[in-house]
């Protein structure tokens, strides 16, 4: 049996939503799926058993962070990421490209690759498409991504074109380099093109026909208004082959998950659900609440009535509120469990709706009651996180 297959089980008649099954060497994934992010080979504050408990089917880990610390060859000496972190389900590793552009200092780009200074200790590193395949082979994830260049936002049309035109040959080099490594790993291609419809279509067509087994859409959710992100997908999806799974890189708030599925995306990953949880932002069917707010002090019921997560089954919202206010570590764990479970329950609901051919009604009903964080709140949050990250490095 091939190490990787994707079977579509149902397609919505009115949108591009579909539901299917991905087979990997470490288990199956039902799509559409949300993938919790374990940047440093750990989904912050929860154990692999807890991840299983909330229904996680695949997690993502970051190549950039792991190559710098503890190093991919060290992870290889522990038998790869699965045994190093004690997660036996599917794992996807990104290419490190995005973090090189957002975290690494002193980047020097040439045709061969990119040289940057580590944000941890200032040491110099060079990534080439070939080197990234080697690192990802050492990490041993089921699904791996090639080195790409993510144009920043705002951007110039010339920068967007050159980022895309550099990325495409790098992807072909990655395909060739991967042949020398582990056949059980599956390489996805990455579609770039910034916010230029023509470039997006061109990139989707070019990468779509290469022998990748799946496609990740990169360069979105980098600070642009959401309407622009959705607009880009409307250009990309029709150009992609139907039978390959599609991964929307770095996107995964509840409302984005629901909307993105309708635009033909199958896989989503984002630090947002776990990150906002640690800061008190918890998801409910009516939108995000801040468990820190005084209103929860006396609430004896769960965070959300009817939630089947471990936290809501055993603890009152008043207690969870107290843990956060008292800065107890247990808070992060309970808050994270609730938010990941919310995302994975949403995945189950999306799949059921697509199978029943009721996705458009499900989406409209969800968006009518779920109040997302405003653009302004998101911007403030981004600034806060950015400055916290600068202090760390």
Q: Which residues pair with 246 in a beta bridge?
A: 215
Q: How far is the CB of 363 from Zn ion (least distance, A)?
A: 22
Site for Zn ion in 146-185 (CB under 5 A): none
Q: How far is the CB of 371 from Zn ion (least distance, A)?
A: 18
**By the rule CB under 5 A, 345 interacts with Zn ion:** no
Catalytic annotation on 266?
no
Which residue intervals of the chain are DSSP H helices?
48-53, 63-68, 72-77, 81-85, 97-102, 129-139, 157-178, 197-208, 226-236, 254-262, 272-278, 310-314, 317-325, 329-355, 359-369, 375-392
Which two tokens mark 354?
Answer: 């697509």
**By the rule CB under 5 A, 288 interacts with Zn ion:** no
Would you give the binding string for Zn ion spanning residues 61-80, x where CB under 5 A is met? Answer: --------------------
**By the rule CB under 5 A, 317 interacts with Zn ion:** no
Q: State residue 382 phi and psi, 5-degree precision.
A: -60, -45
Q: In this complex, which beta carbon is closest to Zn ion, that of residue 31 or of residue 253?
A: 253
Q: In this complex, which beta carbon is closest to Zn ion, that of residue 248 or of residue 343?
A: 343
Which two tokens mark 326?
Answer: 């008292």
Q: In this complex, which beta carbon is closest to Zn ion, that of residue 56 or of residue 307?
A: 307
Q: In this complex, which beta carbon is closest to Zn ion, that of residue 333 or of residue 338?
A: 338
Q: How far is the CB of 53 from Zn ion (least distance, A)?
A: 12
User: What DSSP string runs through 218-249?
Assistant: -S-SSSS-HHHHHHHHHHHGGGS-TTS-EEET
Catalytic annotation on 269?
yes
For Zn ion, which stretch binds (CB under 5 A), given 37-45, 114-122, 300-308, 371-379? Answer: 300-308
Q: In this complex, which beta carbon is closest to Zn ion, that of residue 171 or of residue 304?
A: 304
For Zn ion, which stretch binds (CB under 5 A), given 165-173, 196-204, 321-329, 330-338? Answer: 330-338
Find the catalytic residue in 148, 256, 266, 269: 269
Q: How far is the CB of 282 from Zn ion (least distance, A)?
A: 8
Q: Strands of 124-127's sheet, edge to edge?
A: 105-109, 114-117, 124-127
Q: In this complex, which beta carbon is closest to Zn ion, that of residue 41 or of residue 303?
A: 303
Q: How far is the CB of 302 from Zn ion (least distance, A)?
A: 6
Among 307, 317, 320, 334, binds Zn ion (CB under 5 A): 307
**Listed residue (173, 245, 184, 240) closest to 214, CA to CA:** 245
Q: In this complex, which beta carbon is closest to Zn ion, that of residue 147 or of residue 291?
A: 291
- Three-point CA angle 69, 109, 60, nearest 5°: 40
Which two tokens mark 312?
Answer: 């809501």
**By the rule CB under 5 A, 338 interacts with Zn ion:** yes
Among 33, 91, 272, 309, binds Zn ion (CB under 5 A): 309
**By the rule CB under 5 A, 343 interacts with Zn ion:** no
Characterise 236 by phi-psi region: left (phi > 0), alpha (psi -120 to 50), beta (else): alpha
Q: State residue 220 phi and psi, 5-degree precision.
A: -110, 170
For Zn ion, which stretch binds (CB under 5 A), given 24-32, 158-166, 286-294, 335-343? Answer: 335-343
Q: How far is the CB of 291 from Zn ion (least distance, A)?
A: 11
Q: How far is the CB of 337 from Zn ion (least distance, A)?
A: 7
The Cα–Cα gap between 236 and 40 comes to 31
Q: In this complex, which beta carbon is closest to Zn ion, that of residue 17 or of residue 307?
A: 307
Residue 102 buriedness (CB in 10 A; 0-12 / 13-18 / 19+): middle
Q: How far is the CB of 205 from Zn ion (least distance, A)?
A: 43
Among 312, 324, 340, 344, binds Zn ion (CB under 5 A): 312
User: What DSSP string runs through 317-365?
Assistant: HHHHHHHHHTT-HHHHHHHHHHHHHHHHHHHHHHHHHHHTT-HHHHHHH
Total number of residues that touch Zn ion (CB under 5 A): 5
Q: Contact positions toward Zn ion, by CB under 5 A?
A: 307, 309, 311-312, 338
Q: Which residues are designated catalytic?
A: 94, 269
């Amino acid at each position: 049996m091939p190490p990787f297959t994707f079977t579509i089980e149902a397609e919505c008649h009115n949108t591009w939503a579909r539901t299917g099954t991905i087979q990997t060497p470490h288990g199956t994934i039902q799509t559409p799926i949300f993938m919790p992010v374990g940047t440093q080979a750990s989904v912050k504050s929860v154990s692999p058993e807890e991840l299983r408990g909330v229904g996680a089917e695949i997690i993502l880990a970051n190549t950039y962070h792991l190559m710098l610390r503890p190093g991919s060859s060290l992870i290889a000496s522990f038998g790869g990421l699965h045994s190093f972190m004690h997660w036996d389900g599917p794992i996807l590793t990104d290419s490190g490209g995005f973090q090189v552009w957002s975290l690494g200092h002193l980047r020097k780009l040439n045709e061969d690759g990119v040289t940057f200074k580590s944000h941890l200790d200032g040491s110099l590193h060079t990534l080439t498409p070939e080197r990234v395949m080697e690192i990802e082979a050492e990490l041993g994830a089921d699904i791996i991504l090639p080195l790409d260049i993510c144009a920043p936002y705002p951007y110039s049309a010339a920068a967007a074109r050159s980022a895309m035109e550099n990325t495409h040959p790098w992807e072909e080099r990655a395909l060739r380099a991967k042949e020398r490594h582990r056949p059980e790993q599956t390489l996805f291609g990455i579609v770039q093109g910034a916010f230029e419809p023509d470039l997006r279509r061109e990139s989707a067509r070019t990468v779509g026909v290469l022998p990748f087994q799946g496609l990740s859409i990169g360069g979105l959710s980098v600070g642009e208004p959401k309407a622009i992100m959705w607009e880009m997908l409307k250009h990309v999806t029709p150009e992609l082959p139907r039978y390959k799974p599609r991964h929307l890189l770095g996107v995964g708030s509840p409302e984005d998950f629901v909307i993105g599925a309708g635009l033909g995306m199958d896989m989503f990953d984002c630090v947002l659900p776990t990150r906002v949880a640690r800061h008190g932002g918890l998801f409910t069917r009516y939108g995000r609440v801040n468990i820190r707010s005084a209103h929860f002090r006396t609430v004896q019921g769960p965070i959300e009535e009817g939630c089947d997560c471990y936290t809501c089954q055993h603890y009152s919202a008043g207690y969870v509120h107290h843990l956060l206010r008292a800065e107890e570590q247990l808070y992060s764990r309970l808050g994270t469990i609730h938010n990941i479970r919310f995302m994975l329950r949403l995945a189950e609901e999306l799949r059921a709706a697509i199978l029943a051919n009721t996705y458009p009604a499900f989406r409209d009903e969800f968006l009518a009651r779920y109040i997302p964080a405003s653009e302004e709140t998101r911007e403030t949050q981004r600034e806060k996180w950015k400055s916290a990250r600068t202090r760390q490095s």
